[in-house]
Structure 1
Amino acid sequence: MDFPENEFGKQANQAAVHRSQYYKGSAVIPIRHIIFDTEDIVGQREFDEKNLDRLQQIFEVEGCWNLYPEYRIAVTIDQSDLDWSLVHSNVSLEVLMDPRERPLLEFRNGTKLRCIYGKHRIKASSMYGETTWLVDLYTGTKVI
């Protein structure tokens, strides 16, 4: 029995392959380097003060969980910024790709890492007093 092609599944597979080409691993980064797009992007939530309040209450009771893998956010990084950070943080690409590791990366002042989701978590965690977050790093501009 032949199954009809699933166009959505095909697109999802292509997106996964595309993302894996640009995936550089995971690291803990200073929150001050994360920026969010201000223009409308499909799937991006509008900023919601109620959601921010809800997250702050959760963080007060349960903690922020900013270093837990299941709460990672994805950011895009310029290859030259990544190269600089690896050298100055004394971290290798192999360490970034090791899921058991959570290296801290430092960046030059003014370095910005683009993110399209997680803005409520990041804002609430900053208000909670956290200064870092675990992220997945991608080079390129259209991978997250």
Structure 2
Amino acid sequence: MAAHAKTKIFYISIGFWLILGVKSYDGWSNYTLTVQTGGSVTIPCHYDKKYTQQKKYWFSEIDQTKTYTNTTDENLSVIDHPDQSLFTVTMRNLQDKHNGRYYCVVENGEQPPKNIIYEIQLKIQSGKTFCNCFNRIL
């Protein structure tokens, strides 16, 4: 069931990107999303079901800010979907100032601490946004 659920979530995520005007997609663990400047992107941050109760946040390396799940601002929302073992990050009105590295983080509560990281490099070039994403554990 886990593989089927992840596959279903994968296709739903692609649907989000297509609805939001994504121009290209390449792979799953290392993908590139292209949207127009001023557009929006929704990034799915998957985590193991055992981390459902742990804190999760979106980290911006640009300004060193953490935005915890279930936060909605004008141009950023971070929403946890524990029944699907993922949280989604939606960035709206993307501009050049959003160039930089971002991370989906799950605080796993283990000692020594290891945060589960989903790394996103966001670049806005020629009116388009590129998102290269990599899963890793730090």
TM interval, short-chain normalised: under 0.3
TM-score scaled by structure 2?
0.24
Higher helix share: 1
Specify the structure having the higher radius of gyration (Cα). 1
Higher strand share: 2
